[in-house]
Amino acid sequence: MEVDYLIIGQGLAGTLLSRSLLNAGKKVIVVDETNNASASRVAGGIVNPVTGKRLVRSWMIEELLPFALTMYRELEQELTMSLVQECSILDFYATDGEREIFNNKLEEEKDFLHLSADGDKWQQYFRFNYGIGEIAPCLLVDLRSLIIGWRNHLSEIGSLMEHQFSWLDCEVTATGISYKDIHAQKIICCEGVGGAQNPYFQMLPWSKDKGEALIASIPGLSRTHIVKQGISIVPWQDGLFWIGAAHDWKFTDMEPTPAFRKKVELQLDYWLKLPYTIVDHIVAQRPANMERKPFVGLHPVHDSIGIFNGMGGKGVSMCPWFANEFAAHLVNGIPLTPTADVRRFERILKR
């Protein structure tokens, strides 16, 4: 079978890139092994424009956020399902110092930071003494539904192969690649953390980042906002809440960590006034890298091999923009954003 692109991996990156290429009229096959613990299926699905204790504005967020909203809305229409919610994050200050940091940033980040006038409403759900800041606009995307919905669509149009891809079955030539009975002009690797083992891209500056979240039932808690105080409580599927997330850069296994669960439970016991039940503890590795910028583009030596990866903890905002940009690059030769272009690592990739 002749196709234009063979894509390895159907997490968020492979999902959105395959969609952009199909929309450009290209013939695409996606190979994905079923993995319920991929980063995309474990993620909270949040686009937060101003992150961390110091409330730092995320890279390119002015462009990424509205673009992402448009793309997720289009996908809602195409897949006839609800996927994205425009919302706010309510930041419950844990100390006077946190309130001061927020207030000091208000002027500089006035597009995203606001004082919340809603304090009274939240007294019925939480114990807090220092007030609430509001971060908006934010997005909340139902990634699991999106991945499964797109997978069904790929299957319906005959564009999905469900198994583990192996380079042993793949021949790379000057004119393209052959994999089993498929000949493709290019292969694009969207393997998430699997990218660190890819023989063509393992030299990139990958880093490790284990993430965990608890899934909880909290009857009676409002579902209108994401709320946070160190940890975030996020409306999730089936009337449940996602609570996370941990970052662990020195982990030795991918098992759920009892210490993380204990820490979250201790905080909930103090902060949350409502009873809760933990129903699941989910874990995945983020496809992180030292630069915190994505890896997008074609290999500097092997022109028929590309990568769309390295989204770290910000795939929900970065994947839509860069899927569109990469597809435009592949199809029409439009240049990539230099800070995202994988050819910035030309020297190490040529070794």
Ligand X SMILES: Cc1cc2nc3c(=O)[nH]c(=O)nc-3n(C[C@H](O)[C@H](O)[C@H](O)COP(=O)(O)OP(=O)(O)OC[C@H]3O[C@@H](n4cnc5c(N)ncnc54)[C@H](O)[C@@H]3O)c2cc1C
- Closer residue to ligand X, CB minimum distance, 7 or 298: 7
DSSP for 302-338 reads -TTEEEEE--TT-HHHHHHHHHHHHHHHHHH-PPPPT
Q: Are strands 160-161 and 28-31 parallel, antiparallel or unpaired?
A: parallel
The one segment of 5-13, 124-132, 200-208, 330-338 that binds ligand X by CB under 6 A = 5-13
Tell me how far, at minimum, the Cβ of 348 lies from ligand X, in Å: 21
Binding test (CB under 6 A) with ligand X, winner from 314, 323, 341, 345? 314
Q: By rule CB under 6 A, what string of x and - marks binding of each residue 176-205 to ligand X? A: --------------xxxxx-----------
> Residue 279 pairs with which residues in a beta bridge?
none
Binding test (CB under 6 A) with ligand X, winner from 4, 6, 7, 9? 9
SS3 of residue 285 by DSSP: strand
Binding to ligand X, residues 276-295 (CB under 6 A): 284, 286-287
Q: By rule CB under 6 A, what string of x and - marks binding of each residue 159-178 to ligand X? A: -----xx-------------
Count of chain residues binding ligand X (CB under 6 A): 42
Instruction: Count Cβ atoms below 10 Å from residue 247 Cβ, excluding itself.
Output: 13
Tell me how far, at minimum, the Cβ of 191 lies from ligand X, in Å: 4
- Closer residue to ligand X, CB minimum distance, 83 or 316: 316
Q: Does 311 bind ligand X (CB under 6 A)?
A: yes
Instruction: Count Cβ atoms below 10 Å from residue 134 Cβ, excluding itself.
Output: 18
Tell me how far, at minimum, the Cβ of 235 lies from ligand X, in Å: 12
Compute the half-sphere exposure of residue 191: CA atoms within 13 Å on the CB side of its CA. 23
Binding test (CB under 6 A) with ligand X, winner from 4, 22, 45, 227? 45
Tell me how far, at minimum, the Cβ of 107 lies from ligand X, in Å: 27
SS3 of residue 219 by DSSP: coil
DSSP H helical ranges for 192-314:
258-271
- Closer residue to ligand X, CB minimum distance, 106 or 148: 148
Q: By rule CB under 6 A, what string of x and - marks binding of each residue 251-280 to ligand X? A: ------------------------------
Tell me how far, at minimum, the Cβ of 210 lies from ligand X, in Å: 8
Considering just the CA atoms, what is the radius of gyration of the chain in Å?
21
278: closest CA among 347, 212, 218, 327? 218
How far is 75 from 83, CA to CA, in rounded Å?
8
Determine the angle formed by the axes of helices 61-79 and 315-332, rounding to 10 degrees.
Answer: 80
Q: Are strands 210-217 and 241-244 parallel, antiparallel or unpaired?
A: antiparallel
- Closer residue to ligand X, CB minimum distance, 174 or 249: 249
Backbone angles phi, psi at 3, to 5 degrees: -135, 165
Tell me how far, at minimum, the Cβ of 6 lies from ligand X, in Å: 11
Q: What is the 3-state secondary structure (H, E, C) of 222-269?
A: CCCCEEEECEEEEECHHHCEEEECCCECCCCCCCCCHHHHHHHHHHHH
Q: Does 32 bind ligand X (CB under 6 A)?
A: yes
The one segment of 54-62, 174-182, 296-304, 315-323 that binds ligand X by CB under 6 A = 315-323
Q: What is the dihedral of CA 254, 256, 262, 264, to 10 degrees?
A: 90
Q: Does 320 bind ligand X (CB under 6 A)?
A: no
| DSSP assignment letter at 10 | -
- Nearest residue to ligand X by CB is 11
Instruction: Give me the residues that bind ligand X (CB under 6 A), please.
Output: 8-14, 31-33, 35, 38-40, 42-46, 164-165, 190-194, 211-213, 244-245, 284, 286-287, 309, 311-317
